[in-house]
Amino acid sequence: MELGEIVVTGSPGERDLYTEQKPRTQDLLGKNGKQIHRVFKYLTGEMKEYGEWMKNKPLMVQLVDWILRGTSQVMFVNNPLSGLFILVGLFIQKPWWMLTGCAGSVVSTLTALALSQDRSAIAAGQHGYNGILVGLLMAVYSDKGDYYWWLLPPVAVTSMACPVLTSALGSIFSKWDLPVFTLPFNTAVTLYLAATGHYNLFFPTTLIKPVASVPNITWTAINVPLLLQSIPVGVGQVYGCENPWTGGIFLVALLISSPLICLHAAIGSAVGMFAALSIATPFDSIYLGLHNYNCALACIAIGGMFYALTWQTHLLALACALFCAYSGAAFTNALSVLGLPLCTWPFCFSALLFLLITSDNPALYKIPLCKVTYPEANRIYYLRMMRRASESRREEQKRKEQKPSGGSKISTGGTPLCTPKNSRAY
């Protein structure tokens, strides 16, 4: 008996009382641990139990859940609690932006209902995330400032186009089992900004000019704290927000649903920052995270969301983020000539290009689109498929080994001229 196990008791009754209390304490700890695990299970991932509970609720109650899920789906997260955190971050940035974003999400979701789109896709927020981006970016690029209420009608009309574009592009991309990403948002907002422009009487937009001179960059003047701050700011710029506190809240929202998504968002934002430094981008735009947000989205998409997470796909995600950063610089120069913003065109271009890669390496496993959930669950699905494939190969090998070696023998004088080879030898 070890010293830590010695218990001094004065009577047999006290000894019996100690032996009864010890299992009770262990049972209580075990129950508390199970309850904590159950709470985490309910709040993380996709909150499936909550989604099942919401199915029997009135439409207006379900609509709130769909809007929250659509808010978080911008970052590939299907979690209403994460969506609530993101709305709080948007409110901290600018309440007007949150209002226009929610208006766009509501209109696009109701339009999808009116068009009788897939109900499960609507419930997952897949018809809301493009709408909220439309509402946000139309407010961000409006030259009329905050609380210009006449902006709401064009926000509603432009958001109505998102489900139409999603359905149309989905019917094309489904042939290659590819997602539409934010292409409906890019298309709708780009057309709106091109149709209005800076000199429009009713809906003027921010004036965007191409770079016309060599920027004055002094490398000794670089601010390292602001560079580090640009990582959460870059995540916030996915929603057009430049407040570092808002970006930090967005990272917490991602962490609630999926730590892997949160990790790849931060890594992708950092890759964009270093890539911008490598091509001598002005520091002010780097500090604002304008070169990071597309890289964050690309890194999430490849790093466990649409590919099963392995160390090979993790490296592929870094390569995709780097490619997205440099292609983003090219898109910025090209679109600025037309007076148009970058939006998320580089992310869509890079992610779709990397999802079209074909490889015989089983570690580069592309998750079927109907099975995509979140990286941790995608990893479990991948391991299950690999286990099934391994078991089926072993069973097939056993059947081949047990199969008798057949074949006819040609004999002359009772002596065989040749013995047939085993069917596996070739």
Element (H, E) at 412: strand 411-412
- Spatial CB neighbours of 223, under 8 Å, sequence gap ≥ 6: 283, 287
Angle at which helices 345-355 and 311-337 cross, to 10°: 140
Burial 159-187 (b: 16+ CB within 10 A, else e): bbbbbbbbbebbeebeeeebbbbbbbbbb
- Spatial CB neighbours of 149, under 8 Å, sequence gap ≥ 6: none
Q: Which of 156-160, 315-319, 340-344, 404-408 has the lowest mean pLDDT?
A: 404-408
CA 279/CA 263 separation, integer angstroms: 25
Average predicted confidence (pLDDT) for the chain: 87
Enter the pTM of the model: 0.85
pLDDT per residue as tens digits for the range 162-216: 999 999 999 999 999 999 999 999 999 999 999 999 999 999 999 999 988 888 8
Rama region for 158: left / alpha / beta (φ>0; ψ in -120 to 50; rest): alpha
pLDDT at residue 221 is higher than 60: yes
Angle at which helices 224-236 and 244-257 cross, to 10°: 60
Element (H, E) at 415: strand 415-416
- 423 against 403, higher pLDDT: 403
